């Protein structure tokens, strides 16, 4: 039986995979490039987290069907990119859901391995954000997540809410659901209102 | 005693290392950059595969003499790049051999760890292709393998042939040799005839 | 009790983290980008080494307080970049210390895992240099260490001195201190006198 968190994770990797496919299209890659960029965007963050924390086997290695799903979703994206343009808002919501779910899963993995708050935050950020970082590296641009409206900060927020609710004695499912809801809401508000972190602009005098 | 596959692997890492050295030269790197680019091109794919699959120790860590060979080959390349220009065809063949051998080895590693077809394909592609991907990242260009004539697809093909022959009851050595021969042939035909996968060209309307 | 090597390591990650923060500022990243670039610059090299050698848990995972230190140092950098300009010489020295200490620690880790000279050299270079390589990748430039005055070569030199002193029967602390002193000195001399490795300049005739 699939839990709610797993269903949200499947939605998340599908949505993230589609953004990877679009990035490949912007760079005129071939179908293989599309499949690779979709895969690393969807599962790259979780893979880096697992490698750094020594958490084997990796999710997609143990359950390769989810990798197949991401590749199929990327080919669907290729056959109907026009649809995505008409569903831009749906996409922003799905991406926010993906980011938030990934952050909560990252937090849980770190806690499950016995780590504390700092590593849980790192794990949430790596899971939520680093797939997109590799996508941007492979399509040769400065990673957007370092410049965009509150993106990685939302992963940090999800971990904070998660820890707070656990400290207050909330049940597992309440903790998971509320953390995700808060994170999704803040991310969407940040896009809508243009919230962002301060920029550090450092240009050497020549 | 060295097996045929190991001899082909040594040829493969040498050839791939030389392509890494040339990429370093195109970017005017120093001798250290040459050695690093040669090394990551030759052994980067296998290293990423081993890290993702938790397959320790890595080949070059257990047998560092092959790393030394790659570095020596890269310095030979530096001292006589003119030779490479006159052997361009030899090089394309060696690169095709490297790709195909890496793919077959990747398939074998995945099978040896008890994985199925999907992970075997991923392992073949990562082993065959990701060294070149890191090379291109470090020399700051969009990875060529995402745009070139059937490159990564050849790794997928090698795994498919491998599985087919095993299912037909072929012996280990027949399976290895035929998989490599088919992959090399298709790769060279693809270069010769300009075969490539469809390109996904997605430019947002502004 | 903190050993001398650990104190030097803390100075090293702080100094490297600050160079990462400055690179983020040059690309107008937000505070999150600053924290990530500082962290990967400071601890990325050691992390890649540990993953490649299967040396778990990673240092910052076991002792996350040092990651917090790097992030705090990066925010200090953001609040007073003008200071750094006035301390440019101090910074070059701290960076040279960081490089040399990282190289010696990398050598020790490899030896502690039972590896020989070649892997010790690779471990020293990866620990000393690859944090900066990831920093440069994430800020979208060709890694400087492949083009700069003797940089990675200094890591190789530190390992050579380390092995020589051990072979001569020097005590552990003498070995560590002399290796670092020689490496720092050569690095600073290289900057001062403009020493560098030969460049490999290979441009295909079109």
Q: Which backbone phi and psi does B199 adopt, to 5 degrees? A: -90, 145
- Give the chain B residue whose CA is nearest to the CA of A35: B146
Q: Tell me which residue range forms the domain holding A21.
A: 4-193
Does the pLDDT value for residue A166 go beyond 80? yes
Partner C contacted by B79 (CB < 8 A):
no
Question: How would you write chain A as a 3-class SS string?
Answer: CCCHHHHHHHHHHHHHHHHHHHHHHHCCCEHHHHHHHHHHHHHHHHHHHHHHHCCCCCHHHHCCHHHHHHHHHHHHHHHCHHHHHHCHHHHHHHHHHHHHHHHHHHHHHHHHCCCCHHHHHHHHHHHHHHHHHHHHHHCCCCCHHHCCCCCHHHHHHHHHHHHHHHHCCCCHHHHHHHHHHHHHHHHHHHHHHCCCCCECCCCCCC
Average pLDDT over residues C14-41: 89
In a domain, C200, yes or no: no
The answer to whether B85 contacts C197, with C-beta atoms less than 8 Å apart, is no
Beta bridge partners of C199: B30
In a domain, B205, yes or no: no
pLDDT range class, residue B182, cuts 50, 70, 90? very high
The answer to whether C146 contacts B58, with C-beta atoms less than 8 Å apart, is no
Please tell me the least confidently modeled range out of A151-155, C140-144, C165-169: C140-144
Please tell me the least confidently modeled range out of A136-140, C13-17, C148-152, C158-162: C148-152
Q: How many domains does chain B have?
A: 1
User: For all residues of chain B together, what is the average pLDDT?
Assistant: 88
Q: What distance in Å separates the CA atoms of residue A36 and residue A38, rounded to the nearest whole number?
A: 5
The answer to whether B198 contacts A138, with C-beta atoms less than 8 Å apart, is no
Q: Which residue, among C63, C73, C16, has the nearest Cα to C40 in the 3D structure?
A: C16
The per-residue pLDDT for C204 is 63
Average pLDDT over residues A58-79: 94
Which residues on A lie below 8 Å from B146 (Cβ)?
A: 24, 27, 29-30, 32-33, 36-37, 138
Q: Between A and C, how many residue pairs show a Cβ–Cβ distance under 8 A?
A: 81
The per-residue pLDDT for C101 is 95
Beta bridge partners of B30: C199
The per-residue pLDDT for B164 is 97
Does the pLDDT value for residue A198 go beyond 80? no
Distance (Å) from the alpha carbon of B17 to chain C's nearest alpha carbon: 15
Does the pLDDT value for residue A29 go beyond 90? no
Please tell me the least confidently modeled range out of B115-119, C27-31, C49-53, C123-127: C27-31
In a domain, A69, yes or no: yes
The answer to whether A196 contacts C30, with C-beta atoms less than 8 Å apart, is yes
Average pLDDT over residues B162-190: 94
Subunits with 3+ Cβ pairs within 8 Å of C are A, B
The per-residue pLDDT for C19 is 86
The answer to whether C30 contacts A146, with C-beta atoms less than 8 Å apart, is yes
In a domain, C202, yes or no: no
Nearest-by-Cβ selection for B29 from C53, C147, C204: C147
Does the pLDDT value for residue C206 go beyond 60? no
Which residues on A lie below 8 Å from C37 (Cβ)?
A: 146
Which residues on C lie below 8 Å from B58 (Cβ)?
A: 52
Average pLDDT over residues A74-80: 87
pLDDT range class, residue B130, cuts 50, 70, 90? very high
Burial code (b: 16+ CB inside 10 Å, e: under 16) for C19-53 equals bbbbbbbebebbbbbbbbbbbbbbbbbbbbbbbbb
Beta bridge partners of B165: none
The per-residue pLDDT for A87 is 72
The per-residue pLDDT for A139 is 80
* Percentage of chain A exceeding pLDDT 90: 57
Does the pLDDT value for residue B206 go beyond 60? no
The per-residue pLDDT for C40 is 94
Nearest-by-Cβ selection for C30 from A54, A133, A147: A147
In a domain, C109, yes or no: yes
- Give the chain C residue whose CA is nearest to the CA of A197: C30
The answer to whether C142 contacts B138, with C-beta atoms less than 8 Å apart, is yes
In a domain, B59, yes or no: yes
Give the Cα-Cα-Cα angle B133, A35, B199 (nearest 5 degrees). Answer: 85
Does the pLDDT value for residue C193 go beyond 90? no
Partner C contacted by A116 (CB < 8 A):
yes
The answer to whether C143 contacts B57, with C-beta atoms less than 8 Å apart, is no
Distance (Å) from the alpha carbon of B142 to chain A's nearest alpha carbon: 6
In a domain, C9, yes or no: yes
In a domain, C120, yes or no: yes
Q: Which residue, among B46, B25, A201, has the nearest Cα to C142 in the 3D structure?
A: B25
Q: Hey, of B99, B157, B202, which one would you mutate to test binding to chain A, going by the most A CBs within 10 A of its CB?
A: B202
């Amino acid at each position: 039986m699939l839990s709610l968190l797993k269903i949200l994770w499947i939605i998340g990797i599908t949505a993230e995979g589609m953004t990877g496919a679009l990035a490949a299209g912007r760079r005129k890659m071939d179908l293989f490039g599309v499949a690779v960029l979709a895969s690393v965007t969807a599962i790259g963050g979780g893979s880096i987290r697992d490698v750094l924390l020594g958490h084997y086997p990796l999710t997609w290695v143990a359950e390769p069907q989810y990798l197949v799903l991401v590749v199929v979703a990327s080919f669907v994206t290729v056959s109907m990119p026009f649809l995505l343009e008409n569903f831009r808002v749906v996409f922003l919501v799905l991406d926010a859901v993906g980011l938030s779910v990934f952050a909560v899963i990252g937090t849980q993995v770190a806690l499950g391995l016995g780590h504390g708050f700092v590593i849980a935050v790192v794990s949430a950020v790596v899971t939520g954000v680093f797939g997109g970082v590799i996508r941007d590296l492979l399509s040769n641009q400065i990673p957007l997540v370092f410049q965009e409206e509150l993106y990685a900060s939302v992963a940090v927020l999800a971990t904070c809410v998660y820890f707070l609710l656990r400290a207050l004695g909330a049940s597992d499912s309440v903790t998971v659901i509320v953390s995700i809801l808060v994170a999704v809401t803040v991310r969407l508000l940040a896009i809508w209102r243009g919230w962002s972190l301060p920029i550090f602009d450092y240009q050497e005098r020549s």
